[in-house]
């Protein structure tokens, strides 16, 4: 036998040994991990094997967003993932054993719960009271990223495995379960209603988990019911093939937000596609946000369970926006007025003014007959108040700590406006574009110097979301 033939034979034998060992390991790995929580309550996780999949969505997919760029992802380590989102009963067991208080309970402004029409922030809204009735089998809501992590830390010694939140790649890989369609068991929005609870079918609230069709790996509610926190900070996907990716730090110059996946009872089915991405600041506490957990395969010995440390209280949006004063005040208001005077009136239909008094700046812009868009600066963000239909979208630029941040916010239509959390008061807010909820631009604006220049582009009348014959629901602060 030649030397090259011998090397090929050795390589073939080595490959066979690897396959045999891997098969044996899989045979010895239980298909489920059942964690007793006490009081007859359990949490069950399903095994997800290693593999490679195409993350993101093709450009032809209906409802696709620009941040769903496709790439090949290899999941190099098998893991367990909750068969359903963490339920209210499971979270109650955690609270009972630890005395843990969620950020909505500790904060001055409570959480964003359902008032029968939209999500609003109130002191009495928290995981115990999301604004709609729940059973212990419903997914827990109104939990922040830190609240979800605290549960995972508590669960770790009880599971005998390291428990965390899933990475975004783990979540999508598990949701797809080998499928390439927009939803794991459906190709259209109508078909997706058989898989999860969405605005057209939810009747304004969550539903008991596991009531809809599971995916190929036996996972329920991977689309609809509640959005689920992921470990990744939101940012664009790194190009090219990757192995076990995780965005472990915020993107420079962008608002630090964590990824959420899966859509919710408050959203339309298209937001629950397997590739659809969402994000929120970690301190957001909303009645359509929940989570599920993952665990590594390796069994680990832990000391006796201890009470997790209390998580810090994140800044909350004020319950109401600061009042808009009747007149400007101070040197800043005067300078702003002079800057706006220099901008003039563009096209004869657009007007803008800036004012400062009692801690709140106000910027108002008219958009070609669609109504005024006004921003009011608060202690840790700003409010957008607009005479536009709920579901309309506003693209803005805010300068926070000298760093410009550009993003799009969906208007909730509430009389108090829509709050955008930035962590600290922005020095400047510019409304760049107002769009219908279907994405058609109404009007654009650009800032220069100390004022603002407004110019029309592709003027369209605002429209409401008529899918399934109902108006859009409200969305909470930081959406």
Q: Per-residue pLDDT tens for 1-41?
A: 565 555 555 445 444 443 444 454 455 789 999 999 999 99
Asked whether the predicted pLDDT for residue 361 surpasses 60, the reply is: no
The token pair at 185 is 């068991």
Can you tell me the distance from the alpha carbon of 286 to that of 436, in angstroms, rounded to the nearest whole number? 24
Please count the residues of the chain: 479
The answer to whether 121 and 109 are in contact (CB under 8 A) is yes
The answer to whether 464 and 471 are in contact (CB under 8 A) is yes
Phi, psi of 451 (to 5 degrees): -125, -155
- Looking at residue 452, its pLDDT comes to 25
Report domain extents, the chain.
26-296, 330-469
Can you tell me the distance from the alpha carbon of 400 to that of 205, in angstroms, rounded to the nearest whole number? 35
- Looking at residue 166, its pLDDT comes to 98
Q: What is the mean pLDDT of residues 95-115?
A: 94
The answer to whether 330 and 360 are in contact (CB under 8 A) is no
Q: Tell me which CATH code domain 26-296 carries.
A: 3.90.1580.10
Can you tell me the distance from the alpha carbon of 31 to that of 53, in angstroms, rounded to the nearest whole number? 21
Asked whether the predicted pLDDT for residue 373 surpasses 50, the reply is: yes
Give the lowest-confidence range in 98-107, 263-272, 374-383.
374-383
If phi > 0 it is left, if psi is from -120 to 50 it is alpha, else beta; for residue 238 that is beta
Q: What is the mean pLDDT of residues 184-206?
A: 96
Q: Compare 330 and 140 and report the one with higher pLDDT.
A: 140
| pTM for the model | 0.63
User: Mind listing the pLDDT tens digit for each residue in 200-240?
Assistant: 999 999 999 999 999 999 999 999 999 999 999 999 999 99
State the virtual CA torsion across 47, 52, 56, 62 in degrees, nearest 10: -80
What integer best gives the mean pLDDT of the chain? 77
390 pLDDT tier (thresholds 50, 70, 90): low
The token pair at 318 is 């004020």
- Looking at residue 212, its pLDDT comes to 97
Can you tell me the distance from the alpha carbon of 75 to that of 62, in angstroms, rounded to the nearest whole number? 27
Asked whether the predicted pLDDT for residue 267 surpasses 70, the reply is: yes
- Looking at residue 417, its pLDDT comes to 72
């Amino acid at each position: 036998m030649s030397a090259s033939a011998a090397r090929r034979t050795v390589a073939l034998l080595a490959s066979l040994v690897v396959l045999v060992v891997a098969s044996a390991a899989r045979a010895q790995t239980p298909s489920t991990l059942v964690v007793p929580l006490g009081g007859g309550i359990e949490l069950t996780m399903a095994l997800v094997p290693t593999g490679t999949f195409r993350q993101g969505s093709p450009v032809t997919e209906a409802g696709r967003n620009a941040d769903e760029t496709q790439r090949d992802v290899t999941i190099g380590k098998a893991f367990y993932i909750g068969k359903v989102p963490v339920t209210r009963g499971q979270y109650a067991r955690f609270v009972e054993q630890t005395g843990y208080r969620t950020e909505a309970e500790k904060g001055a402004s409570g959480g964003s719960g359902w008032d029968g029409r939209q999500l609003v922030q109130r002191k009495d809204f928290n995981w115990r009271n999301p604004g709609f009735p729940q059973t212990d089998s419903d997914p827990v809501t109104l939990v922040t990223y830190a609240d979800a992590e605290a549960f995972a830390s508590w669960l770790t010694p009880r599971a005998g495995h390291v428990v965390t939140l899933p990475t975004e790649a783990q979540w999508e890989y598990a949701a797809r379960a080998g499928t390439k369609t927009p939803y794991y068991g459906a190709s259209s929005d109508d078909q997706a209603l058989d898989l999860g609870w969405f605005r057209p079918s939810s009747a304004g609230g969550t539903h008991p988990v596991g009531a809809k069709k599971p995916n190929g790996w036996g996972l329920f509610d991977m689309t609809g019911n509640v959005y689920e926190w992921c470990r990744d900070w939101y940012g664009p996907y790194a190009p090219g093939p990757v192995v076990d990716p995780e965005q472990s730090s915020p993107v420079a110059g962008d608002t630090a937000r964590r990824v959420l996946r899966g859509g919710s009872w408050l959203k339309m089915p298209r937001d629950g596609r397997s590739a659809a991405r969402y994000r929120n600041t970690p301190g957001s506490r909303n009645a359509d946000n929940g989570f599920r957990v993952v665990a590594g395969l390796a069994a680990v010995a832990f000391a006796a369970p201890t009470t997790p440390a209390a998580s810090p209280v994140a800044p909350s949006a004020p319950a109401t926006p600061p009042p808009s004063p009747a007149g400007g005040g101070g040197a800043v208001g005067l300078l702003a007025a002079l800057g706006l005077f220099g901008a003039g009136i563009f096209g004869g239909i657009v007007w803008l003014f800036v004012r400062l008094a009692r801690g709140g700046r106000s910027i108002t812009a008219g958009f070609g007959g669609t109504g005024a868009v006004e921003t009011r600066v608060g202690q840790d963000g700003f409010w957008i108040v607009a005479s536009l239909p709920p579901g309309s979208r506003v693209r803005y630029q805010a300068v926070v700590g000298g760093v410009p941040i550009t993003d799009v916010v969906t208007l909730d239509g509430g009389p108090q406006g829509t709050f955008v959390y930035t962590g600290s008061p922005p020095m400047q807010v510019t409304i760049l574009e107002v769009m219908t909820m279907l994405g058609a631009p109404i009007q654009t604006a650009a800032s220069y110097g100390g004022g603002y220049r407004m110019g029309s582009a592709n003027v369209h009348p605002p429209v409401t979301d008529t899918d399934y014959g109902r108006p859009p629901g409200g969305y909470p602060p930081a959406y």
